[in-house]
Amino acid sequence: MTARRILVTAALPYANGHIHLGHLVEYIQTDIWVRFQKLRGNKCVFVCADDTHGTAIMIRARQEGRSEEAVIADMRDAHVRDFAGFDIAFDNYGSTNSPENRALCHEIWAKIREAGLVKEEAVEQLFDPKEGTFLADRFVRGTCPRCKAENQPGDNCSKCGATYTPAELINPKSTLSGATPEVRSAQHLFIELEKLHSFLAEWTQSGEHLQDEVANYLKGHFLGDTLRNWDVSRPAPYFGFEIPDAPGNYWYVWFDAPIGYIASTHEWCKKHGEQLDDWWKNPDTEVHHFIGKDITYFHTLFWPGMLKTAGFNLPHKVHIHGFLTVGGEKMSKSLGTFVMGSTYLKHLDPAFIRYYYASKLGPRLDDLDLNLDEFIAKVNADLVGKVVNIASRAAKFVAEQTLCESYPSDGGLFEAAAAKADVIADLYERCDYNNAMREIMLLADAANKYVDEKQPWVLRKDPSKAAEVREICSVALNLFRQLALYLSPVLPKLAQQTAELLNVPIQRWDDVRSPLVGTRVSPFKHMLQRVSVEQVQAMTEESKVVDPATAADAPAAPQWNDGPEALAAEPLAAECTIDDFVKVDLRVARILSAEDVLEANKLLKLTLSLGGDSKRQVFAGIKAAYKPEQLVGRLVICVANLKPRQMKFGLSEGMICASGPGGKDVFLLAPDSGAVPGQRVH
RNA sequence: GGCAAGGUAGCUCAGUCGGUUAGAGCACCGGCUUCAUAAGCCGGGUGUCGCGGGUUCGAGUCCCGCCCUUGCUACCA
């Protein structure tokens, strides 16, 4: 078999945040694949870099009162440190803000220009006059033009789901300065992707480069229609590279970010006397990208389009993975499940999460759930209880001795495990790590069973059986070494410790087929510590970010002393069905005005708004409990489909909901913040 | 709304071309063992395969309809 030349990339982490456990799914997945390829004897290079450009970095630098370069330098140091802590071994870790990247952007841009794919168009965008910068949608907030919800993002309403442009927002504000933005027009450069439509349709649908789900997604979402032009420029000020033939304009961060893959490869080539063209312009080289599903279209449409136009290798494969959930939910800062890599490393061994992710990762883009109880159980049971246990229970009987000079008869166990080499290799190759781990654990079970049946600890008491004990341990340690080898892409440290124990390094996949004989066995040292619940809890505790708003309200030690009186005073009504309940249409309403009804003892006259022009007049018996001026503007819950009732003082068109016995003890219901008038209560 | 992927044991999931009595790991229960980091070995499964139809000698699997979950839905990063 000739060695393949393989270039591997993981997505470039953005220089605006630290590495967390979600990021690590990808870097661990990729690192395992790279270590596997290297073990197989392929020439494999793993490059990555920090993604450094864009508005977010520029804003952050301004807020921190320092240069963008200083911001990205610090973050790069932190990223490199975190990756090293998780045993992620890049061959080169670069930066998109590098001279190599700038030169490649120039080269690729020139080719795209040459191909006639660039078009100039005016774009209207909101501009922050105070900061002197154009505003991306997410830097604008205002009132939703449809439902009037306040403080909504610039592109869509989180309350009613309406989509709009930031310019349509009512009362828009810049989140940078608080200033009211103005609409300004600027010339932008676009890449006419549609001109590459037939190429992209063919490339994405060939079945060779993408997972089926991804190909279907692209077909359904993009390729069935005209591809829109891609806006690749941003007017100054912008932190990035200035476009040489369009002064005052900069490449949008997503233009230069993937080019960073090539730039990082170039840095590596310079350090190792290699030619960049061998890696990016030679069809014999396989380029593999590992990314998350959130950035699919950048890597499967724009990027192949750029590469094709500029004459670079197209990706051999884009491997796309899902998101990380913790305990079945999105990572949460308040629950402590948004765990930074550096926090994890303070409490736990990187081997644990590497193995756990491997045991859950498959070739598809399913989301991956980190269940912390399962994490503890799996790591302790599989790694400590099964795998390391084999070495632990065999090594001490032969410590400072040598393994047998010829491999003893073992009932075919070693052969059987060696025969799995191709199956397991294939599973690694296809990124089907969970099935690979399953296969490997079956081998561990067989090895433990062997030791159990042979009972070396019994034979050991009989000095005449010393040779037999040595044979049994030679077998057990060789079976263990096979496991360590199969696991070495996932657990590089274990492979190294195994090499130290048996005094022979683990270097090649095919070593799994030849047993060690005659080599010295070092004294056994623990290879992995068990995980405890306390360690995991300490990690999540440290990750909890307390929301200052809720923290202030939260009682230090809540003492609930709720008595039975309220329920006793008004027993439960007869059971009703959900059908009965939905007959009552409860709505959120805002009190627009409230006035005292002088002639009445208990009534206030309220005008409620259900949003828009929908208003109701309601008489509420709350005069003893609320003053009119306390009520104006607040949200309440009203019965909106109650039959109107003519009262002495006017028509009452509903009720507002309140609890309490009456008189001064009346307590209005109010929705949590975020509710808007007109919403139904379910 | 549209598209995609899912819904199988308490939990996490496998289940090939439609084919015997639907499986594995974890958890749990019982027994054995006591070399090993409270590790190991053996045994233990009463599942409306989301719901309802259909095709078929036979459906977890194929077809139709419905329910539910998650994700995505370019000029955000």
pLDDT in tens, A457-513: 999 888 899 999 999 999 999 999 999 999 999 999 999 999 999 999 999 999 999
| B26 C1' to A586 CA distance, Å | 46
Local confidence band at A542 (pLDDT 50, 70, 90 cut-offs): confident
Find the helix or strand (DSSP H, E) in which A656 lies. Answer: strand A655-656
Which residue, chain included where needed, has tokens 């010829």? A406
Can you give the pLDDT at residue A199? 92
Local confidence band at A656 (pLDDT 50, 70, 90 cut-offs): confident
Local confidence band at A100 (pLDDT 50, 70, 90 cut-offs): very high
Provide the token pair at A292. 């998350």
Average pLDDT, chain A: 85
Find the helix or strand (DSSP H, E) in which A391 lies. Answer: helix A389-395
Among chain A residues 621 through 650, which have CB within 7 angstroms of nucleic chain B? Answer: none
Indicate the DSSP class of residue A679.
P
How far is Cα A35 from Cα A28, in angstroms, rounded to an integer? 10
How far is Cα A616 from Cα A320, in angstroms, rounded to an integer? 53
Would you say the C-beta of A295 is within 7 Å of strand B?
yes
Entry pTM: 0.79
Can you give the pLDDT at residue A223? 83
β-strand partners of A458: none
Among chain A residues 371 through 390, which have CB within 7 angstroms of nucleic chain B? Answer: 371, 374, 377, 380-381, 384-386, 388-389
How far is Cα A337 from Cα A339, in angstroms, rounded to an integer? 5
Sequence-ordered list of residues with C-beta below 8 angstroms from that of A449, at least 6 positions apart, any chain: none
What SS3 class is residue A120?
strand
β-strand partners of A320: A291
Greatest alpha-carbon pair distance for chain A in Å reads 111
Q: Is the pLDDT of residue A188 over 80?
A: yes
Range from A232-236, A359-363, A555-559 that averages highest in pLDDT: A232-236
Q: Is the pLDDT of residue A552 over 50?
A: no
Can you give the pLDDT at residue A554? 36
| B32 C1' to A264 CA distance, Å | 59
A397 CA: nearest nucleotide by C1': B35
| B61 C1' to A27 CA distance, Å | 36
Indicate the DSSP class of residue A30.
H
| B62 C1' to A513 CA distance, Å | 44
Can you give the pLDDT at residue A562? 54
Can you give the pLDDT at residue A352? 92
Q: Which of A78-92, A290-304, A396-410, A668-682 has the lowest mean pLDDT?
A: A668-682
What SS3 class is residue A328?
coil
pLDDT, tens digit, for every residue of A341-384? 999 999 999 999 999 999 888 887 877 888 888 888 888 889 99
In this complex, the residue with its CA at the shortest distance from the C1' of nucleotide B33 is A452
Would you say the C-beta of A452 is within 7 Å of strand B?
yes
| CA A187 from centroid of its chain's CA atoms | 35
Q: Is the pLDDT of residue A517 over 90?
A: yes
Can you give the pLDDT at residue A371? 83
Indicate the DSSP class of residue A48.
E
For residue A1, which of A46, A39, A42, A44 has the smallest C-alpha distance? A42
Local confidence band at A550 (pLDDT 50, 70, 90 cut-offs): very low
DSSP output for A522-533? PPP----PPP-H
Would you say the C-beta of A220 is within 7 Å of strand B?
yes
A226 CA: nearest nucleotide by C1': B74
Local confidence band at A50 (pLDDT 50, 70, 90 cut-offs): very high
Provide the token pair at A1. 């078999």
Range from A106-110, A129-133, A424-428 that averages highest in pLDDT: A106-110
What SS3 class is residue A586?
strand
* Phi, psi torsion values for A195, nearest 5 degrees: -65, -15
How far is Cα A591 from Cα A610, in angstroms, rounded to an integer? 9
Q: Which of A118-122, A171-175, A639-643 has the lowest mean pLDDT?
A: A639-643
Local confidence band at A450 (pLDDT 50, 70, 90 cut-offs): very high
In A252-386, the DSSP E strands lie at: 285-292, 317-321, 324-326, 329-330, 368-370
Can you give the pLDDT at residue A493? 95
CB A340 within 8 A of CB A353: no
ipTM (interface pTM)? 0.81
In this complex, the residue with its CA at the shortest distance from the C1' of nucleotide B75 is A231
How far is Cα A610 from Cα A608, in angstroms, rounded to an integer? 7
Indicate the DSSP class of residue A611.
S
Give the sheet arrangement for strand A368-370, strand by strand. A329-330, A324-326, A368-370
Rounded mean pLDDT, A422-439: 88
Q: Is the pLDDT of residue A161 over 60?
A: no
- In percent, the amount of chain A with pLDDT more than 70 equals 88
Would you say the C-beta of A173 is within 7 Å of strand B?
no
Nucleotides of B under 7 A from a protein CB: 2-5, 11-14, 24-27, 34-37, 39-42, 70-77
Q: Is the pLDDT of residue A646 over 70?
A: no
Local confidence band at A147 (pLDDT 50, 70, 90 cut-offs): low
pLDDT, tens digit, for every residue of A580-629? 677 777 888 888 877 777 666 677 788 888 887 778 888 887 777 777 77
Q: Is the pLDDT of residue A555 over 50?
A: no
Range from A385-399, A488-502, A545-559, A602-616 that averages highest in pLDDT: A488-502
The length of chain A in residues reads 682
Provide the token pair at A167. 């310019």
